[in-house]
Amino acid sequence: MEGNNEQKMLAEQQFLNREYNISHPTYDSELAFYTAVSEGNIELLEELYSENSFYDKERGVLSVDAVRNSRYHLIVSVSLICRFCIEKGLDEQKAYGLSDVYIRKADETSTIGQLSKLHRKVAFEFANEMILLKKSNTIPKNLRIALDYIYDHLNEKIDILDIADYVAISESQLRRDFKKYLSMTPSAFINHKKIEYAQNRLVYSDISYVDLANDLGFASHSHFIKIFKQYAGMTPAEYRNKKYRKHFIDG
């Protein structure tokens, strides 16, 4: 009986597809998109997005509500992007973490235009992660361990000597490796990553500037503002005023 109901629903869906001239993207076009993301092919992604909207009539109908339909398609796409990238070597926890973040954002988004922008954002963020992954494969093991230490301690005051001790190399060697492979000092890299994290919190949360400075291990609120302005070109308050949940309003 249950099987008959499913067959009936399938027949009805096929009728609607014919009636409204709804088709699905070809397997090859879908594969081209997910491969472009997982290979970090930014140029091809730009070309694909310039030619097509993700939410066009070829996507099929998963819900009679247009916004919900778009949201379902985005969630499916994010899940596939995540798995394609994991297969190409992206760390599982990082991939699933990004996937969870964007699915939650999709749940909070209320227009097709906003969902379309969100889909583009997730595609390019994963693609950039894959570019970084390719670069990291050329980085020596000692430096990769140092980078992992930094990522794990972003919410603390990070001392260069502590990193060197953790990796079991000299401080001078650590500095040489950063300069050779990342073209920056350890301190510059640490501040860059802290400010990247701060920018995300300023856009997607209501955290106060003082609490954010404390969370990131800055000695003082004023020092946080100074470093933030150095890297972002504006103060935390100016950045939040410009960027705060802007993608939820646009579109």
* Same domain membership, residue 182 and residue 114: no
* pLDDT value of position 139: 81
Does 99 lie in the same domain as 30? yes
Same domain assignment for residues 131 and 185: no
166 and 62 in a common domain: no
Q: Residue 25 is which amino acid?
A: P
Report the C-alpha gap between 99 and 75 in whole angstroms. Answer: 9
Do 67 and 100 sit in the same domain of this protein? yes
How far apart, in Å, are the Cα atoms of 180 and each of 18, 134, 176, 185? 59, 17, 6, 10
Same domain, 168 and 87: no
| pLDDT for the residue 203 | 81
Pair 123, 177 in one domain: no
Domain-terminating residue out of 100, 121, 136: 136
Whole-structure pTM over 0.75, yes or no? no
153 and 105 fall within a common domain: no
46 contact partners, CB below 8 Å, separation of at least 6: none
Residues 198 and 80 in one domain: no
85 and 177 in a common domain: no
- Do 128 and 146 lie in one domain? The reply is no
Same domain, 216 and 101: no
In the chain, the number of structural domains is: 2
Q: Which of 136, 167, 194 is the last residue of a domain?
A: 136
Q: What is the pLDDT along the chain (251 residues), one digit of tens a residue?
A: 445 555 554 455 444 444 444 444 555 677 888 999 999 999 888 888 865 555 555 556 778 888 898 899 899 999 999 999 999 888 888 899 999 999 999 988 889 889 988 999 999 999 999 988 887 777 888 998 999 899 889 888 999 999 999 999 999 999 999 999 888 999 999 999 999 889 888 887 888 999 999 999 998 999 999 999 999 899 999 999 887 755 444 44
Q: How many helices (H) and strands (E) does the chain have?
A: 14, 0
Neighbours of 244 (CB within 10 A): 14
Amino acid type, 69: N
- Which residue pairs, CB below 8 angstroms and at least 24 apart, start in 86-93? 87/38, 88/38, 88/39, 88/130, 88/133, 89/133, 90/126, 90/129, 90/130, 90/133
- Judge contact between 111 and 248, C-beta under 8 A: no
Cβ-based neighbours of 225, under 8 Å, separated by 6 or more: 209, 213, 235, 236
Domain range spanning residue 31? 2-136
pLDDT computed for residue 141 by the predictor: 86
Domain of 146, CATH number, reads 1.10.10.60
pLDDT given at position 100: 92
Residue 250: the pLDDT is 44
CA distance 84 to 134: 15
Domain end call among 72, 102, 136: 136
CA distances 50 to 53, 57, 228, Å, are 8, 16, 34
